[in-house]
Amino acid sequence: MTRNRILLIAQALLCVVLVVMLAVSAVGIYRSGIAEKQENPLAWVYTREKAAAALKPAVPVFLLAVCVTAACAVLNVRDENADKPVQDVELNRDLMRARVAQPDEAMLKEQAAQKKLMYGGWGAFTLCMLPVLLYMADGTHFPNDDLEQVMGQFAIHVFPWIILGLACLIVSAILQGRSIRREYDAIMARIKEEKAAGIKAEPKAAAPARNLNGLRIAILVLAVVFIVAGIFNGSMTAVVNKAIRICTECVGLG
């Protein structure tokens, strides 16, 4: 392992550790503030001194990360693959597929597997989103008196389903990528076989450009569904009331 690689790995690990420590510090400040507010509602809990005390353990990691970053800059340590274009395996597969006169069994098998993985991943994601929509559509889950308790229950009942749905999509995408690579290898082998046999593929139309309109429409529909669910469960009224209180009590308007 070269020196440059060691420095890059150390820099990445320090950044990850620093982010985790900052997140833990923020959560600790928030939890201690809630505990103090329960004992004394008028207590001023979010002070600079308490924030400094919570962030103090992260200072050595931050300084070490700065030193490693400075060393990388002085030694001109860079990721050699950063400037290289990312190879699109799926696009290469489509280009090579156009050169095949007759797909063989291995190619067809991988194509069928990719469709199943795509539909299965999105189907699992859709099923995971149903409990989320049902929970959000129930207005009794969003009382206006205790925001911390509402958010806690929301995280317990909603976040696991969202994480599970995203995990299904990630696993599906990884498996599809492996299937595409296997199909690419099968295509290259088939091209060699056809070339040896003197078979030439007929010119085929270029593969259509990837269309992201379907994904955009799905995101737009999901946003509209969440907005409608928020209106029916009373969240819109709660947001308006909180905005009025902020303007009249905190900012001092009116």
pLDDT at 118 over 70: yes
Binned at pLDDT 50, 70 and 90, residue 180 comes out as very high
pLDDT at 44 over 90: no
* CA distances for 209 relative to 43, 49, 199, 212, angstroms: 60, 56, 28, 9
Q: What is the pLDDT of residue 83?
A: 65
Mean per-residue pLDDT of the chain? 81
Residues 53-103 pLDDT 10s? 888 888 999 999 999 888 888 888 777 666 666 677 888 888 888 888 888
Q: What is the pLDDT of residue 172?
A: 92
Q: What is the pLDDT of residue 138?
A: 79
Q: Which long-range contacts (CB under 8 A, 24 or more apart) does 73-82 make?
A: 75/3, 75/4, 75/7, 77/3, 77/4, 77/7, 77/8, 78/4, 79/8
Asked which of 88-102, 156-170, 200-214 is least confident by mean pLDDT, the reply is 200-214
- What global pTM score does this model have? 0.60
Q: What is the pLDDT of residue 19?
A: 92
pLDDT at 9 over 80: yes
Binned at pLDDT 50, 70 and 90, residue 13 comes out as very high
Among 118, 94, 110, residue whose Cα is nearest residue 204: 94
pLDDT at 206 over 60: no
Query: What is the SS3 assignment for 201?
Result: coil
Residues 228-252 pLDDT 10s? 777 776 777 777 777 777 666 665 5
Residues 183-194 pLDDT 10s? 999 999 988 888
* Mean pLDDT along residues 13-19: 93
49 burial (CB, 10 Å; 0-12 / 13-18 / 19+) is: exposed
Q: What is the pLDDT of residue 251?
A: 56
Higher pLDDT, 143 or 160: 160
Instruction: Write out the H or E segment, with its range, that includes residue 23.
Output: helix 3-39
Query: Which residues have C-beta within 8 Å of that of residue 151, sequence separation ≥ 6?
Result: none
Residues 209-222 pLDDT 10s? 454 565 677 778 77
